[in-house]
Structure 1
């Protein structure tokens, strides 16, 4: 093996090359690149061929990848749009979170998992993927329909809600006790982090960005690259704040991304930062993360725990659909529209895999449960294009594709959702 300063360069080269090839093949088949990257890790890593193996260098790159990926996910969330979303999207998001979370926790407890593991099962089942929804809606030509606004808005709120809940669950799991005082401390730390993060992001960061733009205009030595460096420093500051509060660094990265987006920056500066973060995360480091996730999977669950795996997959698949569908009924959507929204909300993708990976590294879940949660993410994400296509045909036959009255409503109740650049490029 070629090594430099103890780093397996050949291993990194092979991982990146396989991620590029299999990620591209997955995208050509209409699926997120991360599914191809996971496949590469499973086939060429320890689960099957064993040609690739974990290393310290890959671990560092993977951790950097998941951190930058969460910064980018945060930059895709516009808080103004979040608060402007209509009640339809908010209600659907609540249903799409509470029902699968409750079912996941209940099934975990029923199967004998401890409280921490059961909570992680619930979180994984409650997760969804905004980027996957954007791509599928675009491919099916549904971006100008009423269900598109509800679905994108619901996925946006759900992503934020799951990550906030994840902060609390991880803090509880780290406490390792049901003592009311310790739980109060954990909750207080999480609330303190979000309060401090809001003050820093809302009050302090605008002054930082104003200073950056002032130096750029007056002295000319603040370049677009310098602005990206400032953004990276901001993300690391938020990560350290999260760490001090007993939370995972990715929570800090996600929150930092949201506030970086809110900065009233010169468009050229912001666009450069967003593109660099996306290119580094999606193009380089995140693929390493997903390939190495494949290293950690065990295929033994298809033999020794096939019944448990099948049960968890079924509960995850049905729970998300039923929760979104039930909560959509009081919003004025038809029953069929609610069903299609539930089908669209069902893909987990990146968020569930990150949650499962953190749970494994923290020792809260074992390798077997980790593998099951990743397979749930793969299965539900793979099923979304199939089920959504069927659902759209159902709506088309019933004349409800553009709403019960035949009108085209791109965004529910005047709200907005989606990416700043209006696309799903760079999706995982």
Structure 2
């Protein structure tokens, strides 16, 4: 028992040290820290050197990392600005889903895959990663820009849509058919979650917090630590509600962060809550998540299935960018902004890995296709930081990087 605990602690120490060192290294050359953290996971994880390895404690810390990260990102975003950008976000979500899913399914058909396997190739290509985009936007310090708002909204809506379609695909796999009633039930549960979250967060939470703060003040019980604990409880409640609706807990964390910002807290208490959330997420838990994402990569596909790997990676990369960009053209977003948004939507990460892992455990896909789809997720995610940074620099050079407070965006 003691020896096992020591091994887990050493593993955690190595992961954190490598995440910090590689994150700092890539930041010194002008790129987001998460790029270095993923690289560290590839180099020192099971794919190559094997110095660090998956473990139950790392899995738990990684889940906490992505959850805290999403709370922090939600606290960075004004929900009213997000609503203003809603039409653009919806267009991006639809475009970033339809084209990759359709082409992914077509690739499966060309390769002679079963209908179930082709559907999973399509959903894997259509998946996106809210957590990955959030971290990139934080690292690049562009959360107050129009493209950041559209990206976050588009990723959030895309995650919900992917979960709905994924549930429908699993229903098809289990029963051989997808019913309109079944899909309607899944979509209804997701919409109900957002409706309940909106009522609680925008109407009830500010009132409850005001009453609680008053009670704590009267009883000389108010302090910053207690307020932070209450904030975590609120976030866990939203995560629980998301889970009841069959949505990932990170969606609940993001929504909780949005409403914590709107709760009209005492400035000192809110600043303390914000800073602690940042330190916990960015300084400890989130780096573990991004290192462990790379643990799923196996390199045997480079020798056994290189052609198939290249085909799926290229189709996934191009289709996500093209779909997102094309669907921004009818909006007031510039063509350059649409392209940068497409580059940002291209990362997949957690959602795709979770989906293909379920498909593997259910016997729907084999180890070869699983490895290819996991590598596609990691490869496209790794490409997002440099391509988005290039896009941001491009927008700044052409004076087209629009900040949210500078313009009110509406669909034409």
Shorter chain as normaliser: what TM range?
Answer: 0.7 to 0.9
Q: Structure 1 residue 20: deviation in Å?
A: 0.7
How far apart in 2 are the matches of 1:279 and 1:381?
21
The answer to whether structure 1 residue 167 and structure 2 residue 163 are counterparts is yes
Q: Structure 1 residue 97: deviation in Å?
A: 5.3
CA RMSD between the two structures: 3.5
Count of residues in correspondence between the two structures: 393
Q: Is the 8 A contact 2:132 2:349 kept in 1?
A: no
Q: Structure 1 residue 359: deviation in Å?
A: 1.9
How far apart in 2 are the matches of 1:373 and 1:298?
12
Instruction: Name whichever of 359-368 and 163-172 sits farther off.
Output: 359-368
Corresponding position of 1:182? 182
Structure 1, unpaired ranges of 5+: 417-428
How far apart in 1 are the matches of 2:388 and 2:4?
43
Corresponding position of 2:68? 68
Corresponding position of 2:373? 369
Inter-CA distance 212–123: structure 2 relative to 1 (3 Å threshold):
same
Corresponding position of 2:319? 319
Q: Structure 1 residue 222: deviation in Å?
A: 2.0
Secondary structure class of the residue paired with 1:232: helix
Q: How does 1:246-285 map to 2 (within 5 A)?
A: 246-285=246-285
How far apart in 2 are the matches of 1:238 and 1:125?
19
Corresponding position of 1:415? 408
Corresponding position of 1:203? 203
Secondary structure class of the residue paired with 1:352: coil
Corresponding position of 2:150? 154
The answer to whether structure 1 residue 342 and structure 2 residue 335 are counterparts is no
1:55-98 deviations in whole A, cap 9, x for unaligned?
Answer: 22112111211222222233333220012239677656654555
Tell me the TM-score normalized by structure 2: 0.81
1:18-72 deviations in whole A, cap 9, x for unaligned?
Answer: 1111111122222221111111111111111111221221121112112222222
1:154-199 deviations in whole A, cap 9, x for unaligned?
Answer: 3233122223223323433554554313323322322332232223
Corresponding position of 2:223? 223
Secondary structure class of the residue paired with 1:346: helix
Q: How does 1:71-86 map to 2 (within 5 A)?
A: 71-85=71-85
How far apart in 2 are the matches of 1:70 and 1:134?
11
Q: Is the 8 A contact 1:93 1:154 kept in 2?
A: no
Tell me the TM-score normalized by structure 1: 0.79
How far apart in 2 are the matches of 1:107 and 1:26?
35
Q: Structure 1 residue 410: deviation in Å?
A: 4.3
Q: Structure 1 residue 317: deviation in Å?
A: 3.6
How far apart in 1 are the matches of 2:64 and 2:403?
36
Inter-CA distance 167–322: structure 2 relative to 1 (3 Å threshold):
closer
How far apart in 2 are the matches of 1:341 and 1:19?
32
Structure 2, unpaired ranges of 5+: none
